[in-house]
Structure 1
């Protein structure tokens, strides 16, 4: 599938993944229709308008997951759609109506728009590792056949629970719709996405990924046994799967594993001025890794380019440049007067 003069739509284009994907698509010669909730909000869209080729190959379209039919115009005439947009409000007071329902209804509305357009050859849906391994007893290896245990999620209501529910139900609904309507759907399952970024605010996944450095203990459990992928690798996998005629089904996109102990050690070595915890409750050097197997993606010919260190250095340096991480401060914990962090959430799921 050649990229020159191909018109594609990217939803959630101003966000962490969406904006980087737009940049890479423009570099590949695509004409991009980028949907955002408010195209007139310069603070939210300036990083898109400043991209190379934006003047000639990028247009902004107003669309909202909560508004039925709002994606129809942007998708009409496109040969492909990259559905990245998703609500990510972990502090929502009404998660059912503010996160879960908009996520499910949004993907179905976008799929209906693809059918109406009659021009869309393939839909790439950015799913989440939270659809795969949220369960009471963690396995050691996960692949595309695994699904999260939503009964456990509803019962436990760990940090980010509404996101895991919304993405799982949305992906399952998407597969049902795709099969019933003969729509070519690919779902990509990234683990925790880390790396440099374009958006002006702190991406939710970096709130989690950089929590050992910032001292945000509520997120430690999510990366107790973590899996990670560089933002650029993830976006390139989207384009790779869109262009590959042999691609079908779900694809895990994960390049590295590390426990929170290993991650904290790496961050301490790179950023010694931050007082990063040296010990974590319920996690020590004997804690094993949990693997998200990207074999299916690699067997198709995709190659990861970045190391774990590349991801985190890129993320931290961008946060420093944008003033999103405060200068080094001591992370205090009252446990025996030592820098020991507690892990509240027993699962190792991703944002």
Structure 2
């Protein structure tokens, strides 16, 4: 497959290098650059003076290309590459010459493909290929992977109940999930994120001589406002306590049944956490990234109290509030500070959903 890349109004690579030297910025790669997380991460990196290689599945997608092209400083320090997780070798050119790589892209819906039989195979193969490309480049110091809390369930191995604490030692017991979780449409996503995270972390364990550090940010359900011209999927889940959409609400109940309560985090904090992990002198391993760990009943109660004009489903208020503690503190112990609390996250979800007509 022919690899494509685009430099917007940069003139030439020489002028780009001069710009980078002025800003003292490193060259970094962001896969999935036009997504909910990826687009804001690219924006923040450009504003901080980094030269950014951002990947898209299709450079002919005008809406996604325009989103990134219109970011501040994109004319000086942004290069777009066409790369597809279903053809992971296409990421090599984007990674070449970069000091840091953020692997944000993940297939949520499976695209029929002769190479991979399902989304799980594609996600694992993509993670492995990107780690290999980082090693091959000889320039990448650190690979930062965006994982999900669906990979960190505090369910006991026999699934008889939950552990007392949810922390970085928790891994979702894929072979022994409760019937509700096993039959849900998010089961493949859970499998793929869990197995891909383990695969990518293994490169940090087995390739210490290479000097490549591996960081996995296992992120909670991401809320807040967005650069996208629509309501991001996870935000629709977080406001599904009002609406009649059964699918979005079932995703919330799935997550709560899987991880006990709902770990949530603001999109701004997620991106800042990624950059924090990049700019730390040395860091590696797995870090949970969530500001709050609350029940659906807690979220619904907040909405009912502060948004009385929106009708909260009664069933949401009656859901259990499990006594599981939050132990995912490794990131804050490293010095990261969250800016958004639970209420701010939920308020921004309402603002975003109203802006794009979801509410």
Normalised to the residue count of structure 2, the TM-score between the two structures is 0.83
Q: Distance between the aligned counterparts of 2:111 and 2:186, measured in 1?
A: 9
The equivalent position to 2:68 in structure 1, one of 42, 48, 53, is 48
| Aligned counterpart for 2:153 among listed residues 106, 129, 133 | 133
- Name stretches of at least 5 consecutive residues in structure 1 with no aligned partner: 327-351
Query: Is the contact made by 1:265 and 1:278 (CA closer than 8 Å) also made in structure 2?
Result: no
Greater alpha carbon shift after TM alignment, 107-116 vs 213-222: 213-222
CA drift of 1:102 comes to 1.2
Residue in structure 2 matched with residue 268 of structure 1 by the alignment? 304
Matched, 1:303 2:303: no
Deviation string for 1:207-241 (max 9, x for gaps)?
Answer: 32222122333224124621111111111011111
Distance 1:254 1:111, change over 3 A: same
| Contact 1:193–1:230 (CA under 8 A) maintained in structure 2 | yes
Q: Check whether the contact 1:143–1:293 (CA below 8 A) recurs between aligned residues.
A: yes
Q: Which of these residues, 78, 88, 104, is aligned with residue 58 of structure 1?
A: 78
CA distance in 2, matches of 1:228, 1:90: 26
Matched, 1:218 2:250: yes
Counterpart position of 1:203: 232
Which whole-Å CA distance do the structure 1 matches of 2:111 and 2:137 have between them? 36
| Alpha-carbon separation, structure 2, partners of 1:289 and 1:52 | 45
Alignment of 1:2-151 (within 5 A): 4-89=24-109, 97-133=117-153, 135=155, 136=159, 137-151=161-175
**Distance between the aligned counterparts of 1:33 and 1:299, measured in 2?**
30
1:38 and 1:117 map into 2 onto residues whose CA distance is 24
Equivalent pairs, count:
321
| CA drift at 1:112 | 1.3
| Runs of at least 4 residues off by over 4 Å | none
2:189 aligns with: 163
Shift of 1:297: 0.9
- Provide Cα deviations, 1:112-131, integer angstroms capped at 9, x if missing partner: 11112111010000111111
Give CA deviations for 1:172-213 in whole Å, capped at 9, x if unaligned: 111223333333101111111111111223323223222212
Query: 2: CA distance between counterparts of 1:132 and 1:163?
Result: 13
Structure 2 SS opposite 1:71: helix
1:36 CA drift (Å): 0.7
Which segment drifts farther, 118-127 or 196-205? 196-205
TM-score scaled to structure 1, two decimals? 0.84
CA distance in 2, matches of 1:289, 1:263: 16
1:317 paired to 2:343: no
Higher helix share: 2
RMSD across aligned C-alpha pairs, in angstroms? 2.5
